Amino acid sequence: MRAKSPSARIDALRAELDHHNYLYHVRDSPKISDQAYDKLFHELKRLEAEHPDLVTPDSPTQRVGGATLEGLVTVEHTAPMRSLDSSPELAEVERFMERIAKALGDDHDIAYVCEPKLDGASLELVYEKGRLVRGVTRGDGRVGEDVTENVRTIPAVPLKLRAAKGASVPALLAVRAEVVMPIDAFEAFNEKLIAEGKEPFASPRNTAAGALRQLDPRLVAERTLDIYVYDQLQVEPAGALGATAQWEVLEVLRDFGLRVNDLPLRVTSLDEIAAYHQRLIDARDELNYEIDGVVIKLDDLAARDELGSTSHHPRWAFAFKFPPRKEITRVLEIFPSVGRTGVVTPVAMMRPVEIGGVTVARATLHNREEVARKDVRRGDKIRIQRAGDVIPQVVERIPEKGKRRKPKFKMPAKCPSCGTPLIERGPFSVCPNSFECPAQLMGRIIHFGSRYALDIEGLGEETAKMFVEHGLVKHLPDLFELRPEQLVELEGFAEKSATALVDAIAKASKTDLHRFLYGLGIPEVGNTVARDLADHFRSFEAIRNADDEVLQEVAGIGPRMSEQIVAFFEEEHNAKVLDELLAKMDLIVPEAPAEGGKLEGAKFVFTGGLETMSRDEAKRLVEAAGGKVVGSVSKATNYVVVGDKPGSKLKKAEELGVAVVDEEGFRGLVG
């Protein structure tokens, strides 16, 4: 039946396509053939091409945008995305249930929902008035990366919600989901990479996570991704789902057209949980997506609120992990392999074996002591296990009677890559030549330019590899000597991109002390420790010259960490390279906090993007004035600073009567 106007026909086609999409992805019961679907789709495409003014962003034709993104933008989650407490032991599950029973009072009839623990990439999806407005990676749980354009390409993600039975579409619905790559798609994708002479991915999880962070949405669309939604993060108005239990939440989310896994089960006893766990272990290899355990969630939502969360995980949920999969094979060779941080790992090359649907040919033996303890040698029969990644671990040697064995494996005295004598750090053998050893150099360059370090746009894995292979960068400081005319010689570079990268490197030579510290890749020094060190010492030389005792004055730095930091700075090659780096760089040190500053003790919350400064800069300004930046709005908050496209925090501030200022007002406050 043809509607009269193109606009009405377009509306009808969209509704029909949305409906069939829902039947296919959410209900797993398609009612029309792929060909029939394509026919409707092409009719819609044709009509939209004839009437471009009628194209809307949520039309089924508008999943794959044309433009490549410049980079990913960091955004705050509507609510923190916490992790899960976990264990593979049933006794730990029992303790979890006991804690809950105790907290809620024994008279409660406590129900739990068991769900498969999907081994993918965690994602926040935000729908405003039923329209998909944002997809954000988990990041550090508080902020993640905006990957909306990529998420839109996943066919199972509805661009708009359906009106559910008994519940109208809420003004705001933020949910938590897992993006997974189907195993068959993963294998096909890896085969293609290998055929093209490229490195295959380690696991479906890595491939999915990598796909989400691609800058070109068209490439994402190529990697058939799937999604399962499993929890609410934020709903406005509160209670709009009309659900009082997780079991109902899953049902409502499904009614809204979101894809929900069909394996969850509502239970009330430990026995049922154990049986469900075993059932999923048995079903595991039949599924077309990776799972690595069972997530047990308290069903009653009000009781969840009562229990609350620690900073790491909610008290109402627990992950009952699966034991790793095991297989038997034989060692063909053991060789030392130098990793990015200089740790030399003995790796066993094995007779290839299939384990949980993936063929593996190498396994790690971790370190010198492990090889000695397990006494694994060339030719031995071994048992290996695989957790999530393709690279498994050697569990044990399987003795064979009367078999003559090869000599013991011996760790070389010198680095197999650069010849520097290895040093022993506990059970590990380490090449101390951090910035010049060719095996470490490429990784060092990538890390130095990464997001939380110098954040050099365009300096990715491929580029770093070419720099090292073509001898353009022999040690880290060479990075600042690169010239555009050298880069244009490399594959993938033209004059414009070469100049852009050289400019980006030059610009990054002026950077925050903590970014520089983190970028050095000192063992144990992550993002947070780097910040703490920078804030405490406020000078690179002071950190470099600090001894164990002085370092341990910083909260959170213990003897293990201080020892590694001191050793890093004492190493001769490192010291030389650091001097060279410092001569080429300009480090910005944090300002001293103003004592009794006019904002002493004031708490700030930021929402939305700032125009004239980054969040990092804003935070520094607040701290320099004696204030503090916190993540969420409460009565104790003094100011909420509103930027472009503010989130729900603005509303919360208004509800609680907290002072709201814009960027200009903020500048006035901090002077």
Neighbours of 626 (CB within 10 A): 17
H helical segments located in 520-554? 527-537, 540-545, 548-551
Q: Smallest distance from the beta carbon of 319 to ligand IVH, in angstroms?
A: 5
- Report the candidate in 97, 142, 557, 149 with the shortest Cα–Cα distance to residue 299: 97
- Residue pointed to by tokens 């490439």: 219
CB contact at 8 A, 60 and 208: no
Helix (H, G, I), strand (E, B) or coil at 180: strand
- DSSP string over 32-95: S-HHHHHHHHHHHHHHHHH-GGG--TTSTT-SS-SPPPSS--EEE-SS------EES-HHHHHH
Nearer to ligand IVH, 317 or 382 (CB): 317
Element (H, E) at 462: helix 461-469
Q: Smallest distance from the beta carbon of 618 to ligand IVH, in angstroms?
A: 28
117 is catalytic: yes
Phi/psi for 96 (5° steps) reads -60, -45
Burial of 179 from C-beta contacts in 10 A (0-12 / 13-18 / 19+) = buried
Nearer to ligand IVH, 139 or 242 (CB): 139
Nearer to ligand IVH, 60 or 314 (CB): 314
- Helix orientation angle between 183-195 and 204-212, rounded to the nearest 10 degrees: 80
Helix (H, G, I), strand (E, B) or coil at 339: coil
Cβ-closest position to ligand IVH: 122
- Choose, from 31, 102, 117, 414, the residue flagged as catalytic: 117
Q: Smallest distance from the beta carbon of 82 to ligand IVH, in angstroms?
A: 4
CB contact at 8 A, 455 and 448: no
Neighbours of 473 (CB within 10 A): 21
Give the binding site for ligand IVH (CB under 6 A).
82-84, 115, 117-118, 122, 176, 178, 230-231, 295, 314, 317, 319
Pairing state of beta strands 603-607 and 628-629? parallel
List, in sequence order, every residue forming a beta bridge with 354; answer none if it has no partner. 359
- Report the candidate in 131, 139, 142 with the shortest Cα–Cα distance to residue 169: 131
Count of CA atoms in the C-beta half-sphere (13 A) of 11 = 6
Q: Smallest distance from the beta carbon of 144 to ligand IVH, in angstroms?
A: 11
Nearer to ligand IVH, 295 or 618 (CB): 295
> Whole-angstrom Cα distance, residue 236 to residue 588?
42
Q: Smallest distance from the beta carbon of 494 to ligand IVH, in angstroms?
A: 40
Q: Kindly list the distances between the CA atom of residue 275 and the CA atoms of 86, 111, 267, 272, in Å, as whole numbers in the listed order.
A: 18, 16, 10, 5
Q: Smallest distance from the beta carbon of 345 to ligand IVH, in angstroms?
A: 25
Q: Smallest distance from the beta carbon of 158 to ligand IVH, in angstroms?
A: 19
Q: Smallest distance from the beta carbon of 262 to ligand IVH, in angstroms?
A: 12
> Whole-angstrom Cα distance, residue 430 to residue 383?
27
Q: Smallest distance from the beta carbon of 180 to ligand IVH, in angstroms?
A: 9
Q: Smallest distance from the beta carbon of 239 to ligand IVH, in angstroms?
A: 19
Phi/psi for 563 (5° steps) reads -60, -45
Nearer to ligand IVH, 230 or 568 (CB): 230
CB contact at 8 A, 172 and 126: yes
Nearer to ligand IVH, 232 or 511 (CB): 232
Nearer to ligand IVH, 18 or 231 (CB): 231
Nearer to ligand IVH, 539 or 632 (CB): 632
Would you state the structure tokens that stand for residue 638, as one six-digit string?
């003094």
Nearer to ligand IVH, 230 or 518 (CB): 230
Would you state the structure tokens that stand for residue 315, as one six-digit string?
């008290």
Residue environment code for 647-666, b if the CB has 16+ CB neighbours within 10 A, otherwise e: bbbbebbeeeebebeebeeb
Peptide bond into 427 cis (omega under 30): no
List, in sequence order, every residue forming a beta bridge with 640; answer none if it has no partner. 605, 660
Nearer to ligand IVH, 319 or 347 (CB): 319
**Residues labelled as active-site residues:** 117
